[in-house]
Each structure stands twice: as structure tokens, then as C-alpha cells.
Structure 1
């Protein structure tokens, strides 16, 4: 058996199979199974340890699930005002509703909250999404952050030692001042952990209000000049190089890479060549959702 509990003779566990098919992460797939939403051959699946064999018929909520395809990864320039979920109980517009047609069913690698924007990785392989989210990868997540308030550069530098706020411990954060005009400033912020709303909470701890937050990089993948609301597939060769058999070594190398100097004028000017390496040259423009609060 493999480390995931699969048996070559019996097949693949259904929760993992659903994740690879892009239905949901493995954890969410297990929840779907517990809720009785998954059927195999017309019968409700009772345990995520159920095995799937080639040719088996699987449905979720009565809809057939196609077998997993080759793993694909996409870069998406998320606008603000969209929720990173497939369904929102409050009825707010979601990332997946605004994607252009013709894409496979996708799940996100991590999330960006309603008012955050920038690079969001999407994949048709839920198992890959989970793998890329793991803090043990050590991937650097880089942001351009606009704040309102008085910036204390010494306090920013001290974040490199980590900080504890209301009992929550945050790991080292690299933060630097790029530009300042009156009570507004642009910062470059980089971290490797990415707890929920981490940047906003840390900045609030320093007396700064985040008025705009743009993710510009997730590990080796860059936002570059990808237009707002557009999707671009990562080239298969790049995917093999970054996530192939030598992935652990490559992840460490990418995580340890020094930060480039930020552009002085604003958050969107990135050299074209840097972006082109992370995907194809023809982005698919999507419909832009309504803007939310900054």
C-alpha cells in the first residue's frame, strides 16, 4: 500500500479520488461523504475509506463526477469583492461564478478574503491544492499593502522576529516601507505561514489600517502583468519543474530566494518576462465582479 492508504489491487480511496477530480479538498470530500452526498454505483458511500476502481460510477448531489484528468494549475488575478468559495450562504458573488467558461472544475490553493485581490492559484486537483497550502512547504507569499496611519519602520522590522497578538502567535514577517504620502503608505509584506487575516491583524496591532491588499506572489508563481479578472494556465513544463519529482528541493530553493526590489510607482508594474515563465502568453479575460470595500 502507498502512504495514502491506496491499494493497487483495490484502487484509490474515494475521498482522495474526489479531490483529484477537483470536486473539493480531501477534507471537504470526507465531509460530503459524511453528509451522504456521495454515491458509488447508486449506493450512498458510508466511509471515505471506500475504494474506487476504473469504470466505477460516482455521483455527488446526484451529478456524475468525471474521472480525474491530468493535473492542471492556473494563475488567476482575483478582483476584490469576490468570495473564494463555490457557494456563499450570504449570496455574495464568488470567484468561481466569475471565471470564464470552458475551464474544468477548479479548487483554490488557499484563499483571499472578500476585499483582498491579486494572485490566486487554482487547480483541478484537490490533493495538489492541499499539498501547496501546507506551511511545511515554506513557500513565500508576497503582498503589496496600502495602509493608513503613521508607519514606524522599526516596528515593521521587528516583525521579522514574529509577534503574538491576543494569544495568537504569528511567525516571522518581512515588511518594508516602499512609499509614503501623507498618512497613506505602500508596504511590501512577505510571510510563509499565512494565518487567517494575518496581515490585517498584524497591521492593526501596529496602529495601521489596511486599505488595499494585493498578493503578488505565491512561492515561485507571480501575478506579473496578468490583467484583473483574467486566468492563465501554468505551462506544463513549468508545472513539472516546480512540482515534479524534485519538488521538495525546488520548494526550499524558491522559499529561500531573496526578495526583488519592489516597483516604486505602484503595485501593478511587473516585468513581462517574469510573468511569462509562470504560464502561457495568452490570458483568458474573465468577467469582473462588483468591487467591494477597500
Structure 2
């Protein structure tokens, strides 16, 4: 069985405090994505959560990054921040028509993030999941849902996403609801506990710990210290692990991601 690919990355690439701490002094801003993608294996794009991008933007991002690099995208808030999720079809369709699949083989996962006030309604959430396309313009699509309400800590929810091959985002180092069940052939984790007082965001012990957890995920096992609702092992082999260093002390996140990736080489 082929070993799962573990990709460690960050959220976005435009952040002024990274200039001189992550990006070299004097690097042209238009070359920041090129530089970031030479140091990291993946980036989660947050801008797609707030509004539509243009097809030429996706084409440009694909062209500026090396072979094997992968972008994940936040699904639009217009689809997830609504009372009736079953009515999200037009927003989902508009999102995929905006040129997302111009990323082609560099399109990783679409992360559908829900507000903490959104509670689990089995029928409505099932209707939402059924609106998510499996492919678009010949590109296979993978979906993850980031839920932030404890009502989702239910076997019914795990069964729903597992049936459809949708991943549950594992939130870690945070106060957000943690659901560690592996429900898809890939794992999507977001760690949020970097500390500005640590030179690379985490202590050596913490960096070792995240690298070890990434290896557990790659084996289809829920790591120790990660809460699962229904099962501690994946039903099917895991092909990809996406681990994003997000939020926390954002200025340290690229260095933390690089330090974890170094431990996985």
C-alpha cells in the first residue's frame, strides 16, 4: 500500500508581518506566492470564503507554484452561513463556476466552514452534503466540513459524512469543537496554538508531537489526545494528510509549518 502524502502548510500568503521574518527582505510582493510555495507543500486560501475570485487568478496561482504543490480553498460563507443549508445550491454552483477548477491538479480540498452558532440538523445537513459536487469540469473534488458546535459530536453526523466521503476538519490547539474521526480517504487538520514567544511558533516537544500525529493520521489512526466521536481508526486507507498551521501567533506560522515538515522528511 502506498504511503500517504503528508502536506504541511499555512493559511494564505499575503501577511505584512511575514515580510522580513519569513519572506526575505526586499522580496517583491508579486513573488511572495512563488517563494512561499517553494518552502511549503500547501496553502489554504481564505479569500474564497468572503467573495468570488476570477478564473485568471486561479490560473495565475497555478502557474506560480511548483509541480506537486496543492491549494485548499474555503467554500463561500454565502453557502454555509444560512438558516436552511438545503437552499445553498445556487451559492455552491456559483463558487465552482468562478474558476476554481482552473487550479486543475493543484486543487486539494474545499473546506466548508460553519459558524459556532450552527447546530446539527440531520436532514438539513444531509441535504447540504448532497449539494456538493463530486467533480467539475473534469476535476475530481474533495470536500471537508469544519463544524464548530458540540451538537455535531454525534454518531449520526459521523455516519452522514462517512457515507459521502467528506472529511471533518480536525480543529486542534483551540477552543473549537474537536472531532477527530477519519471519515474520508484524506485527513484535514488545522492547528491553532502557535506562540509568539517561541522562535518557530512551537516548542521542540510540540513540533515533534505534531509530526508524530501527522504520521498517525497517515496510517489512518486518530492520534492520542485528539477526540473522536465514533471510531479511532479509518475505515479506508488514507491517501493524503493536510495539516495547516492557522491563527495563533500568525507571524510564526510559516516557520512552524516548515519545522513540522522538516521532521517528516
- TM-score scaled by length of structure 1: 0.27
Q: Whose radius of gyration is greater, 1 or 2?
A: 1
- TM-score scaled by length of structure 2: 0.29
Name the structure where strand makes up a greater proportion of residues: 1
